[in-house]
């Protein structure tokens, strides 16, 4: 019994050591400041970013990657630094602030003499395939309001697939680039549309 107890104790110790040897790594969708674009000329509106709706399959702390057989793998030791919906919101907001040349004013006082653009995003798919690609499928809505004018709305969608290099870091980098590409589309559409609200979504 004593030998068996020692063996069980040793096995447990080895198991704990194996678990302790696998560190948890954290990732973010927010691109490094060194890669950020300089502030653009200020947009002809104030803007506010609404909370992001995120696909439920991936809206959890661990990264979720798609397997070749159609299954999903939850990587417990590879995690987002914040809930994925918040990561996406903050990353997209930062990219839009640089393109609009102004800060996000959600929840803050706004100037009464300037129109306000509200942006809502619904991330229908946030697909990660290790060593292959990152894909986002997003429905986004622009709502422009100003004093004395009827509120205008425009709803569009974007599917962006970004090639990814080898490893988890490159997969996250591909998602960062996909968010930046989405910001380019939203910013250009919003600026053009604010001048000519009869314009439609980009093809």
Query: Span 50-58, mean pLDDT?
Result: 95
pLDDT above 70 for 147: yes
The pLDDT of 196-200, averaged and rounded, is 85
Say whether pLDDT at 77 is over 60. Answer: yes
49 and 93 in contact (C-beta within 8 Å)? yes
Other Cβ atoms within 10 Å of 144 Cβ, number:
20
Least confident of 39-48, 59-68, 103-112: 39-48
pTM of the full structure:
0.86
- Return the minimum-mean-pLDDT range out of 35-39, 47-51, 117-121, 193-197: 35-39
Angle at 101 between CA 98 and CA 104, to 5 degrees: 80
CB atoms inside a 10 Å sphere around CB 106: 15
* Phi, psi (rounded to 5 degrees) for 153: -130, 145
**pLDDT value of residue 203:** 79
Confidence of residue 1 (pLDDT cuts 50, 70, 90): very low
**Per-residue confidence at 6, pLDDT binned at 50, 70, 90?**
very low
Q: What is the CATH number of domain 2-195?
A: 3.40.50.10610
């Amino acid at each position: 019994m004593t030998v068996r107890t020692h063996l069980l104790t040793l096995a447990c110790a080895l198991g704990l050591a194996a678990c302790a040897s696998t560190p948890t790594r954290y990732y973010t969708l927010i691109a490094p400041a060194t890669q950020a674009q300089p502030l653009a000329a200020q947009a002809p509106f104030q803007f506010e970013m609404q909370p992001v709706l995120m696909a439920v399959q991936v809206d959890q702390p661990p990264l979720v990657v798609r397997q070749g057989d159609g299954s999903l793998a939850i990587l417990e030791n590879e995690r987002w630094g914040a809930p994925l919906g918040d990561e996406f919101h903050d990353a997209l907001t930062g990219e839009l602030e640089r393109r609009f040349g102004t800060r996000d004013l959600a929840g803050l006082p706004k100037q009464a003499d300037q129109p306000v653009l509200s942006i809502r995003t619904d991330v229908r798919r946030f697909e990660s395939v290790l060593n292959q690609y990152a894909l986002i499928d997003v429905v986004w809505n622009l709502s422009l309001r100003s004093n004395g004018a009827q509120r205008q709305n425009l709803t569009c969608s974007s599917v962006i697939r970004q090639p990814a290099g080898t490893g988890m870091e490159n997969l996250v980098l591909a998602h960062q680039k996909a968010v930046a590409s989405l910001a380019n589309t939203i910013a250009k559409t919003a600026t053009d549309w604010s001048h000519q609200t009869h314009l439609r979504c980009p093809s």
